[in-house]
Chains A and B, each alone.
Chain A
């Protein structure tokens, strides 16, 4: 499964990648903001994205993706520092499938990925 990791922090991208490797994933593509993310969608089966990023933030990117007929059901997990209930509701409303607040553990990441992929199958 090809996973697109989008975060402006290169450190966080590496931590997410290392964690994904620990839980059994190995095919990744990376982007540093929403614009780069949009340009890297080809063949992607799951997106893990930050919210607050320069140039184009994660929520704007999600809204853009959801307007595209080919990507209406592409699973998207938002992995962010934005921990407010209103933030989570807003993200889900605009097409995010699941939400993780940093800091995260491998267990939580695995659980949210499993849940998201299962929802897509249903």
Chain B
């Protein structure tokens, strides 16, 4: 199966979620395949999926953008990473993975369960994966900042 067929519902749901809850349409860039050590982030919301496909779905932000997104999400000014920002980033990953699941079940009959989301904080981090995994990264532009949708699927 073409990996893009699986990744596209996640892209679609990310854009839909940002448009619905943040009133902003992020612009997707070119899909990258494989782990990339040059694409670092400061805060990551990640959620495990298990079923017909298994792996993780992660949303990776620079600090400033995570605060900006959380500010819009909660309708209050947030300038530093706090519990609200960490919760927002995890919840966004959760919403996007759940929405993509709905599309994948309907269109490709691919079903999976979602785990509870986790948030990782650390300046300039990358994510590591076990051998035998396929990694797909979709960069998104939001103003002058970039964040990443990163999907790791077990082969």
Contacts and interface: CB of A to CB of B under 8 A. Distances in A.
Contacts, number: 71
Contacts of A104: 20
Interface of A: 8-12, 14-15, 18, 52-54, 80-86, 101-105
A83 B95 CA distance: 10
- From A9, A82, A85, residue with most partner B Cβ within 10 Å: A9
A81 B114 contact: yes
Contact of B75 (A18, A101, A103): A18
A14 B116 CA distance: 19
A93 to B, nearest CB: 17
Interface residues of B, number: 27
Given A101-B98, A103-B16, A9 B105 contact: no
User: A interface, by DSSP: helix, strand, loop or mixed?
Assistant: loop
Given A11-B91, A14-B74, A18-B75, A102 B98 contact: yes
A37 B142 CA distance: 37
B23 to A, nearest CB: 10
Interface of B: 16-17, 20-21, 70, 73-75, 83-84, 87-88, 90-91, 94-95, 97-99, 101-103, 105-106, 111, 114, 116
Given A82-B114, A84-B106, 18 more contacts: A9-B94, A10-B84, A11-B70, A11-B74, A11-B91, A15-B74, A18-B75, A52-B116, A81-B94, A84-B102, A84-B105, A84-B111, A85-B102, A85-B106, A86-B105, A103-B20, A104-B20, A105-B20
A83 B101 contact: yes
B98 A80 contact: yes
